[in-house]
């Protein structure tokens, strides 16, 4: 990938944009990924950007950096589709407890909900939902899904989301990977049917409380963000100015994307998940099995093969006013979460470059060990 021309102006950009950094006092460290934050602002059009990188290998570090103004290290922000990894983890825990089987059809738990217009819940397995191979259309493609206007104004619940999707023709053929938020809306309803509790309650009980993720929440109908938080910005069309969308009714996102979190909490969650603290080995292997989705997606998590041969795992989340992504090595020992306070990232190549810079740094001088990373 060619080096963006803005790289040549990086020293000036750093001073103008107020790049902030912090690292563990015991091990001063910087990360090459931080050099991409000013570019997310200048080239990507974000008001502000931030990252938190953690590595337990040599040299160990815990490094925060930001660019632009209005973002702080402990800010709460909307994590969007990163919610899906949390939901998938709960479903796999329930499978391990024998309370459901991934091969079960949706109709076993939600009889009659998915019917008509080429959709049939008797022929869609829970596994197909997890891997986005169900053939269900994405309810967020229905006009007005995010703002309650138009034909999808009823999308304020998981059931409403599924019905909006079923009213459309299925997007792909079943068995072919096609990302659809509807799949996780259905899984949220399945978790409630199996446990008698909402998916939000199960996530809190099974993940947030045990891992002490005190900055993470599922807001339900609450439109505000917990303090501290930055503002969130959105534009409907590329030529329009950004507008403030910090206050947002997250019910349209539901089990597909309502999560609020922090940089620290997301790193801690993916470290715990990939190191085996939340799932036994067999279930963790299922989580990372991408064969059903033709290599594109596991179960609520997806891989990215980098130029240096490392495969990293994680998820991104885009919701009005926020974009975030967490990426980690297979053992969870090296994690990176970065975010911007808008969903309008105009240069997605910067996202790839940032991840490559963090996990594929230049080789160290002769005689110095390279960071240990697991493929």
| Residues acting as catalytic residues | 81
Question: What's the rounded Cα separation, in Å, for the pair 164 and 120?
Answer: 14
Q: Write out the two tokens for 132.
A: 């986005």
How many Cβ atoms from other residues are within 10 Å of residue 132's Cβ? 27
131 to each of 61, 125, 134, 306, 341, how far by Cα in Å?
33, 10, 8, 22, 28
Question: Cis link prior to 228 (omega < 30° from 0)?
Answer: yes
Instruction: Count Cα neighbours of 66 within 13 Å in the Cβ-side half-sphere.
Output: 19
Question: What's the rounded Cα separation, in Å, for the pair 182 and 129?
Answer: 8
Distance of CA 374 to the CA centre of its chain: 21
């Amino acid at each position: 990938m060619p080096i963006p021309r803005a790289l040549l102006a990086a020293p000036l950009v750093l001073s103008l944009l107020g790049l902030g950094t912090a690292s563990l006092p015991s091990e001063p460290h910087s990360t090459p990924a931080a050099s991409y934050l000013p570019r997310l602002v200048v080239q990507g059009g974000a008001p502000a950007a931030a990252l938190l990188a953690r590595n337990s290998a040599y040299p160990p570090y815990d490094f925060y950096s930001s660019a632009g103004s209005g973002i702080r290290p402990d800010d709460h922000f909307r994590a969007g589709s990163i919610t899906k990894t949390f939901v998938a983890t709960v479903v796999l825990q329930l499978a391990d407890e024998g309370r459901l089987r991934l091969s079960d059809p949706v109709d076993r738990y939600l009889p009659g909900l998915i019917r008509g217009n080429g959709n049939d819940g008797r022929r869609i397995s829970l596994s197909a939902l997890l891997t986005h191979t169900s053939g269900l259309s994405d309810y967020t493609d229905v006009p007005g899904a995010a703002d309650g206007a138009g034909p999808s104004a009823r999308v304020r619940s998981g059931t409403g989301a599924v019905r909006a999707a079923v009213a459309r023709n299925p997007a792909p053929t079943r068995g072919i990977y096609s990302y659809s938020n509807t799949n996780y809306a259905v899984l949220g309803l399945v978790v409630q049917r199996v446990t008698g509790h909402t998916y939000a309650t199960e996530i809190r009980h099974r993940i947030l409380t045990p891992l002490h993720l005190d900055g993470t929440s599922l807001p339900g109908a609450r439109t505000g963000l917990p303090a501290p938080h930055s503002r969130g910005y959105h534009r409907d069309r590329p030529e329009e100015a950004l507008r403030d969308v910090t206050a947002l009714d997250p019910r349209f996102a539901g089990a597909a994307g309502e999560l609020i979190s922090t940089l620290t909490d997301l790193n801690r969650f993916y470290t715990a998940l990939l190191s085996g603290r939340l799932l036994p080995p067999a279930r963790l292997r299922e989580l990372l099995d991408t064969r059903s989705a033709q290599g594109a997606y596991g179960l609520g998590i997806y891989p990215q093969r980098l130029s240096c041969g490392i495969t990293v795992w994680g998820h991104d989340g885009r919701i009005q006013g926020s974009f975030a992504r967490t990426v980690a090595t297979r053992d969870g020992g090296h994690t990176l979460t970065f975010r911007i306070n808008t969903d309008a990232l105009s240069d997605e190549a910067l996202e790839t470059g940032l991840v490559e810079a963090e996990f594929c740094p230049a080789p160290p001088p002769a005689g110095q060990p390279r960071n240990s990373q697991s493929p």
